[in-house]
Structure 1
């Protein structure tokens, strides 16, 4: 492994290993996602049946795929905004991170990806299996599934970068709980957590697609399930890359500007 990326890989590996200590918490998350999966399936299946078997391009089979993939990815793609980083900014411990020889944003990214990738095992895979055994899940052909896995990894990166940008605002705001709560609500809704984005009214769909949020959840689901395929799927993944560059650059800019005004008091 090139020495230039070795520190970040070690952070990712250590974070992944640390998650093995919290298997009961992962089991709790699995049960919660499974419970809400059945509730979501009941509501959305009733909607499809009431609409005559198809709504917004979704029939029962594609809606079932949406339900279980959206629940399965929740452990890997974090739509909240809580972070240890917010506390470190508030307490001034972020100064220690700035003194380290690693870039703050990318080092926290490596730690977050370790947690995200670990969640694929105890949460995502069991939910997919249970969904397939109950109401069923349709997947894209093998090439589409591989591209979908790339979309999942990119969504995990974009998820962190968005949360990082919100948390680093603490360098100006100090207390960011209000902003983080607002971010969680907006990102969850516009990402397609509650209902698929294609079911939104036209004006809301246009608004959602002008943000990075559908790339967090709707895009990986669509590519994995085969709802979008071929050139459209590749374009959706490239759109994720675009948002990663934009949001990542915004986080870097906020970090550099905030670092100049950081003041830490105490002994």
Structure 2
């Protein structure tokens, strides 16, 4: 009799667990759809972003190609064609990954509106992540395709002829977007302790613009700076997905690079949860 009761109890526990996962998945999908709908309303902003990415792509492509030529035609494993491809892919991914200042959460913390987020029956970090992924998915094509088309016409693109780099590249880009969100989430959480976010945000923007490979490929860095970059999550946001998509790293190396991205994401999300709960507890104690 005890075994039967225990079995039924175990089945109920499993059913409750599955129901909880289904509910979390449904919430995630709903916030993802809300992110898509929200950003699809800003069509002129997307068009302006695509134009800006294309213009900066032309400037960066000319500079990096000239630097490669000055180095004798090859630099850090790139020639003129492959470094131009790197630049255009970076411009195509920039809008989706989002290297730009984001202070929405910090504003809600300063105004006390985060108390509403705390009262909702959904994890705030999960909700914001889902919405940000929706933003990224919407922006990827309309903001990323124009730079790639211009790059294909102006400099040409050197891309793999096999499907595997693209399949792994989609996963790598998804992780890159998520890692970017996790970093921006942590920067925003400093608003629990700081009245002005401009200092941390400026430091973050400076560090990420250099260490992620947006300015020049990380493979061009001197040894000491490459080691500094490798000790941060920033290369996982741009250098890694481009390396995977272009086939610069393949097979086991590509899987290992994606594993590094996943490890950074897991660690940053856990840290984000801890810091958020600590900050929320401080807010409640102060009467927020």
**In structure 2, which of residues 81, 84, 89 is the aligned counterpart of residue 64 of structure 1?**
84
**In structure 2, which of residues 178, 187, 190 is the aligned counterpart of residue 169 of structure 1?**
190
1:219 aligns with 2:276: no
Could you say what secondary structure the match of 2:275 adopts? helix
TM-score normalised to structure 1 length: 0.96
> Structure 2: 5+ residue runs without aligned partners?
1-20
Q: Summarize deviations over 1:166-193 as a string: whole Å, max 9, x none.
A: 1012111232121011101101210000
Give the match for residue 251 of structure 1.
272
Give the match for residue 26 of structure 2.
6
1:236 aligns with 2:257: yes
**Aligned partners of 1:86 and 1:170 also within 8 Å:** yes
1:90 aligns with 2:110: yes
1:30 aligns with 2:50: yes
The 1-side partners of 2:249 and 2:24 are apart by: 37
RMSD, matched Cα = 1.5
Q: 1:126: Cα distance to partner?
A: 2.3
Could you say what secondary structure the match of 1:245 adopts? helix
TM-score normalised to structure 2 length: 0.89
**In structure 1, which of residues 102, 106, 111 is the aligned counterpart of residue 122 of structure 2?**
102
Q: 1:7: Cα distance to partner?
A: 1.4
**Aligned partners of 2:182 and 2:269 also within 8 Å:** yes
Q: Summarize deviations over 1:118-164 as a string: whole Å, max 9, x none.
A: 11121112222221222112223211111011110100001000000
The 2-side partners of 1:222 and 1:105 are apart by: 29
Q: 1:265: Cα distance to partner?
A: 6.2
Higher Cα Rg, which structure? 2
Query: RCO greater where, 1 or 2, for CA within 8 Å and sep 6 or more?
Result: 1
**In structure 1, which of residues 181, 193, 196 is the aligned counterpart of residue 214 of structure 2?**
193
The 2-side partners of 1:133 and 1:265 are apart by: 59
Give the match for residue 145 of structure 1.
166
Give the match for residue 118 of structure 1.
138
The 2-side partners of 1:20 and 1:105 are apart by: 22
1:52 aligns with 2:68: no
**In structure 2, which of residues 217, 226, 241 is the aligned counterpart of residue 205 of structure 1?**
226
Q: 1:259: Cα distance to partner?
A: 1.1
Aligned length: 266
The 2-side partners of 1:240 and 1:183 are apart by: 19
Could you say what secondary structure the match of 1:102 adopts? coil
The 2-side partners of 1:248 and 1:174 are apart by: 24
Could you say what secondary structure the match of 1:169 adopts? helix
Q: 1:80: Cα distance to partner?
A: 2.9
**In structure 1, which of residues 4, 13, 17 is the aligned counterpart of residue 37 of structure 2?**
17
> Structure 1: 5+ residue runs without aligned partners?
none
**Aligned partners of 1:89 and 1:174 also within 8 Å:** no
